[in-house]
Amino acid sequence: MKQYDVAIIGSGLGGLQCGYILAKKGYNVCILEKEHQLGGCLQTFKRNGTFFDTGFHYVGGLEEGQFLHTLFSYFDLLDLPWHKMDESGFAEVVLKDKSYFIPSGFDRFVDTLSNDFPHQQRHLKNYADFLKHIGENVANNFKAEGVNFSLFEQSAYSFLQNTIGDSTLQSVLSGASLTMELCAEKLPLYTFAQINSTFIQSAWRLNGGGSLIANKLADSIRTMGGTVLTKAKVTRLIEKNGEITTVEYNDTEQIATKYVISNLHPTLALSLIPESERIRNIYRKRIAAIPNTYGMFTVQLQLEENIVPYLNRNIFIHKEENLWDCSYHPTEKVSAALISYQLPKQGEKYTANIDILTPMHWQEIEKWNDTTVGRRGEEYLAFKQKKAEECIALAAERIPELKNSINKIYTSTPLTYRDYTGTMQGSAYGIQKDCNNVLQTILTPKTPISNLLLTGQNLNLHGIFGVTMTSFFTCAEIVGMESLVRDLPE
């Protein structure tokens, strides 16, 4: 039986980053991925000669001097083909057919939105100053005092209501937030502020898709002596004397290990240890009871050549006034969507494909829970076709060339994400964080088993930036945070 220092379950961003960090520290790591392709939601796929992303569309805070730039420099990811989005408006928020632009740079952010809302200039300045403060102090989470949980205990919705006096401006400032689940009753202020701060700092696309990140990390891990296995589904964790000693995969193969890091949803990780000396049923029930955020329905359009001009920004369309209602409405038509353009080949002016994403609750597709990809039946196909038509109609209101330019249509639901990435209920942002119940919904990497650690978006922060931060929190439980911080570039 092969012996490793650390076995990592899952090759999503968190798993790969933990593997990189620990391999860089000299640990002998082994990453086990159940699929044939690495990356989790960073995966890309090719259809009819065109590449599509699954869950990755853009990142924030990658400018030199910003903290993601520091972290990606550490991971040797800065030489990937990053493309800066339009500083004058990386996001276009469409409310009631009127467009508002969200620019990069805090001063530009205040000046631009003050043109539309001159009576709110002072409030916008206060709002921007707060987000800027969050961004400038994010590195403090790596210091001895750790994460400031007081901002997780405050309501993002209440903060917005108390800071901005105009209801339309409140919607505009929320309108680019299909990067999180806007739940008025639960969303923590820190989640809302950190994500919005990062994108206002700077916004970037990646020419070639999220798999470039996954493959670069995996290649680096192998170069440092680590092992990355695909088609290696972990089927059991074997516990002895209160610690995990053996990882079983594909039902028959085993490796020995000193530590295990799970990049799975915590409920799935616990299911790998059905009997345990250390994990009590009350802990299992507590984790299983935490709701998951909603997933996404995605329409991916392959377009005819030279018809739809490339836009160097995302478009967020909202038909409903209340952007903060995240509850499930069974008869609701598609009323909100994120439109993301694929970067064209160098020198070209037109995009080859567009993604349209809209929130989708698990209840909408729960009846097909026990089906697998390609075998869900005609009713499911009809359901997806109807949703796709609604998404395309919504997008076509803003992109008049769209309907006459579509060559192929591909769709995915939270079921697709669940089956290809192992994401619980196809959740887009992991476990639903609750500002009223922080201790129960903001998880630490530690588990009742001392050498079993968690990582990924289900713990405290989601998205590329959040998962990257969390990978350091997880690895700090093994090597210490001070040691990791010393390795970060100046």
Per-block mean pLDDT, blocks of 10 residues, the chain (490 long):
96 96 97 92 80 86 94 96 96 94 97 96 97 90 71 95 95 90 95 95 93 95 97 96 95 96 95 92 92 94 94 94 87 89 88 94 94 92 96 94 93 92 90 92 93 94 91 96 90
pLDDT at 147: 63
pTM for this entry: 0.95
- The CATH homologous superfamily to which domain 2-42+210-290+434-487 belongs is FAD/NAD(P)-binding domain (3.50.50.60)
- Name 128's Cβ contacts closer than 8 Å, sequence gap at least 6: 106, 109, 110, 200
At 256, which helix (H) or strand (E)? Answer: strand 253-262
- Name 374's Cβ contacts closer than 8 Å, sequence gap at least 6: none
- What is the SS3 assignment for 310? coil
pLDDT at 79: 96
- Tokens for 411, please give them: 């769709």
pLDDT at 268: 94
CB neighbour class for 319 (10 Å; exposed up to 12, middle 13-18, buried from 19): middle
- Tokens for 123, please give them: 């409030």
pLDDT at 395: 95
- 255 strand-pairing partners: 2, 247
Q: Same CATH topology for 2-42+210-290+434-487 and 82-207+292-426?
A: no
Q: Where are the domains of the chain?
A: 2-42+210-290+434-487, 82-207+292-426
pLDDT at 145: 55
pLDDT in tens, 306-362: 999 999 999 999 998 889 998 888 877 899 999 999 999 877 899 999 999 999 999
pLDDT at 277: 86
Indicate the CATH number for domain 82-207+292-426. Answer: 3.90.660
- Name 63's Cβ contacts closer than 8 Å, sequence gap at least 6: 69, 84, 201, 202
pLDDT at 144: 60
